[in-house]
Structure 1
Amino acid sequence: MIILISAILNVVNSYIGDPTCISQVTQSTCQNLGYCFWDGLTCQVEDCYKIDEIAACRPSGFLHTTAPIICNSLELEAYFYQIYANVCNDPSDDPNELIQHYIRYQEPKNGYADKSLNGNNLNYWNTNVPQYGSISQIYTIQILKQDMSQLDQTLDIYIKYLTLFLSDTYWTYDQEKSISYMFQQLRDDTTLASINKKLMIGKVWQIVDNLFERFRIIGNNYTAIYPLYSINQVALSRLQTELSGRKHVATFKWGQYQYNGYIQVMGYDLHQFGFVGQLTQVYEINIYDNGHNTQSLNYGIMYTFPFDISTMSSIYLYSFDRVTLQETQIRMLTIGNFQDCNYDSTTKKSTCQIYPLTGNTKYFIGTTLSTCGSIPKRYKCKQPRCLWTGSSCTNNPP
């Protein structure tokens, strides 16, 4: 009788989010907790942004009662929980801040990773002649459910359909959303060899370029904001445009242009490729006339930050090569009144104004970028630039 009462009390007092990861001895019990991952031998604590069980991050949960605190819970509005899967964040982040470059979309309940809703599998779509009427079915393949092999096949399907996408009369939302899912899956993968991930990212760039070509065909002013990338197309006659990233806004201004046309700007986050130390997204700028011909344009970028940038010892302007996934340091930015960067104590904002720049280039600004070996946490150690091995981050050049 005493044994039975003790057993009942143990059941009652064992709450969701309480068990430790290391106490789980099988892969299934480890993964079922929602805040652990199986490394092949033992059960380890999952990266905070990948956790699915918020109880572990709340004050009484295992990840919050240990010292030091491993993860905090995100107490968000119900609207965000419906769209995003994030329920915890790192203690180094602001409380209840949904960090833009670590947002995860909810995995859909319906649909399949290996086939479209009409039952055609990935091999069917990759081997049969593309048909215009099949585009809507391509979009039903559930990218967020896929492993890397399935994702690679899906990238090939999208590339096979690039020409047909250009004549698709439906709006571009489905293709935009798919690109966002592709970036998320590649960001979160820890299994691919560096060279394979680089090749797959290259395929995503082809799909992105196809999307921009669709925008030029449509010819409208347009903005779309997603966690890992954002896009903007505006007529040159507007003389400026802007995109927002985490804790900064980038404003692009130009005074003259030779032909009527469009400027296209894409901002994408470098954290997904293993970079740490950047203050802004990479901003890729492309200029076209109304005939879709590439044009040259002199312009400037003004970066605005809601903090005092003058406290930083050194800030640099970088260019970025999205093919090699490598950065090039252009020059150090000067800080102070009438310099490249300045802090306004009245508005509590800093601005960095970079002039002049030439079109069809990719820029970002940041401090001295962290080497992989100096990155202390697994979730910041991203392929293809860095690789987490055991308990440390190592260099993994793409």
Structure 2
Amino acid sequence: MVKAGAFGIGTPACVTLPCYLIDEVAACRTGGSLQTGGANTECDSLETFSLQYDNVCCDKNFGKMNYAFVRFTMNFDGFVDQTNDATPIPMASLNVATSVKEMFKLYTINPWIVSQETTEANFQSKLLAILNKYLETATRDVLLSQSRSHPFYLERTVYQSLQLLRDWTVIHRSTIALRNAILPKIWSLALVALTRMTTFQPNYYQTNYYFINFAIIPYFRNSLKISGQLHTLTIDWSAYSYTDKGYVMVYSYAPEQFGIIKAYTDVFCIRPFLGSTVAYSPTENNYDNLFASLKFTYYWSDTTLTITDSQVKLFKISDDTQTIVDTGVVFTCVPASRTCTNTGTYSPSPVPSDGKGQNYFIAHVNYDASQGDKKRAQCILAYKTWTTVCA
């Protein structure tokens, strides 16, 4: 647990932590009791705190909590590889199909403990073991069909894994190999969670966890509104002439946790399914290939922000966050109402390369033009070089 504003790495050295990782608010206050010239040159203390998260500092002059870097409070009860009960069961031996009781034992396995590993190899293997346990056929089928299986436990494992991956990468400056090993499993589990939501609460289900959000909604409702930090995005498919019942399943995530700055919206993964009952496919290829004619309306609540049509672009991003292309969509913005809407309609690819869904975000046309605009954590998460600036 980080208590002040610096930590040691390898040979004797003291490195200032990125602001969001600091636990001692005095480290971020100018004129505080801790040494001047450390974190307080890069960070400010938050004006308000919450019991939902551990953050007490933010980047200099940002003035608020950044949703991309929320740190949910971790506990270290139990075990990372076995159940936490009177007679612990090794995770590999746990059969959740035996009874509901065994299913709930799965939820006692604690991913937060992975953060205490001392090597990247162990961190990767321990976190992957948990994700693979949720995704193995026998476990996944129970989590999808058992009436007492609540989507929250799947969602929780997703946000825990994202937080663990983000913070390990920032602290240890890991290579992209770690992300490439873990992130596909996280998105697969997110798809399992979305699929479960369609039977758990089929008329509508939506949850928000700051840096990752989930929603499912039937086709007949025609649109879905997704909230992010100081913005909302409405996805409207009312012009789509579907031939059967269906669902739009979406997860959205804050792009800064992957080093993307100057995005107006979160990244949103659209996963449409045609049919009255959503069936999970292990190959993740049961995508409604005809899903088309979409309208995107971006609304910003920050009254200090001014946006013009030419600045706004819709970008498509791959599951691994490494390939980003301009879709060519043109937007019309109305400053008086603080909204931008695409002209005409947009149709996703009928044959998506990412089976879990198609991922987009709306951003400034030059969102990635200047690496020097990135703060320490953003820079590291973009796998750039940080000294005193990002390059």
Q: What residue is the counterpart of 1:379 in the other structure?
A: 377
**1:303–1:353 contact (8 Å) kept in structure 2:** no
Which residue in 2 is equivalent to 1:164?
Answer: 142
Tell me the number of residue pairs that the alignment of Structure 1 and Structure 2 aligns.
Answer: 349
Aligned CA distance change for structure 1 residues 44 and 169 (closer, same or farther; 3 Å): same
1:366 aligns with 2:363: yes
In structure 1, give the amino acid aligned to 2:158. Answer: I
Give the residue type in structure 1 aligned to 2:177.
I
Contact 1:309–1:350, Cα closer than 8 Å, also in 2: no
Corresponding residue for residue 237 of structure 2:
254
C-alpha separation between the residues in 2 aligned to 1:205 and 1:115?
Answer: 23
Task: Provide the residue aligned with 2:44 in structure 1.
Answer: 72
Structure 1 residues 167 and 382: alpha-carbon distance in aligned structure 2, compared to 1, 3 A threshold: farther
Change (3 A) 1:130 1:372: farther
Query: Which protein, 1 or 2, shows the higher relative CO under an 8 Å CA cutoff with sep ≥ 6?
Result: 2
Equivalent in 49, 52, 55 of residue 86 of structure 1: 55
**CA shift at 1:111, angstroms?**
2.9
Residue 234 of structure 1 contacts residue 263 of structure 1 at CA under 8 Å; is this kept in 2? yes
Asked if 1 retains the 8 angstrom alpha-carbon contact of 2:3 and 2:22, the reply is: no
Q: Cα distance 1:75–1:310, how it changes in 2: closer, same or farther (>3 A)?
A: closer
Matches within 5 A, 1:1-398: 33-41=3-11, 42-61=13-32, 65-66=36-37, 69-77=41-49, 80=50, 82-94=51-63, 97-108=64-75, 110-118=77-85, 124-126=90-92, 131-133=97-99, 134-147=102-115, 148-149=123-124, 150-160=126-136, 161-170=139-148, 171-190=150-169, 191=172, 192-218=174-200, 219-255=202-238, 256-288=241-273, 289-292=275-278, 294-295=287-288, 296-297=290-291, 298-306=293-301, 307=303, 308-310=305-307, 314-323=311-320, 325-331=322-328, 333=330, 340-344=332-336, 347=337, 349-353=338-342, 355-358=344-347, 361-367=358-364, 368-370=366-368, 373-383=371-381, 385-388=382-385, 393=390
Residues 375/142 of structure 1: CA separation in 2 closer, same or farther (3 Å cut): farther
TM-score, structure 2 as length reference: 0.79
- What's the offset of the Cα at 1:333? 3.6
CA contact (8 A) 2:216 2:247 kept: yes
State the shift of 1:193 in Å: 2.9
Q: CA deviation at 1:109?
A: 5.2
Alpha-carbon deviation of 1:228? 1.4
Contact 1:372 1:381 in 2 (8 A): no
Q: How far apart, in 1, do the equivalents of 2:94 and 2:370 lie? A: 43
Give the aligned CA root-mean-square deviation in angstroms.
2.9
Tell me, in whole angstroms, the C-alpha distance in 2 between the residues paired with 1:91 and 1:357.
Answer: 38
Deviates more, 1:44-53 or 1:316-325: 316-325
Aligned-pair CA distance for 1:332? 6.3
Structure 2 runs not aligned, ≥5 long? 116-122, 279-285, 349-356
**In structure 2, how many angstroms separate the alpha carbons of the residues matched to 1:137 and 1:371?**
48
State the 1:128 CA deviation: 5.7
1:235–1:83 distance in 2 versus 1, CA, 3 Å = same
Give the percent of matched residue pairs that are identical in Structure 1 and Structure 2.
Answer: 22
Deviation at 1:104, TM superposition (A): 0.5
Does the 8 Å contact 1:187/1:382 carry over to 2?
no
Name the SS of the counterpart of 1:110 in structure 2.
Answer: coil
CA contact (8 A) 2:78 2:84 kept: yes
Bigger strand fraction:
1
**Mapped partners of 2:42, 2:335: distance in 1:** 34
Secondary structure of the equivalent of 1:358?
coil
The answer for the alignment partner of 1:12 in structure 2 is: none
Q: Counterpart amino acid of 1:53?
A: E
* TM-score normalised by structure 1 residue count: 0.78
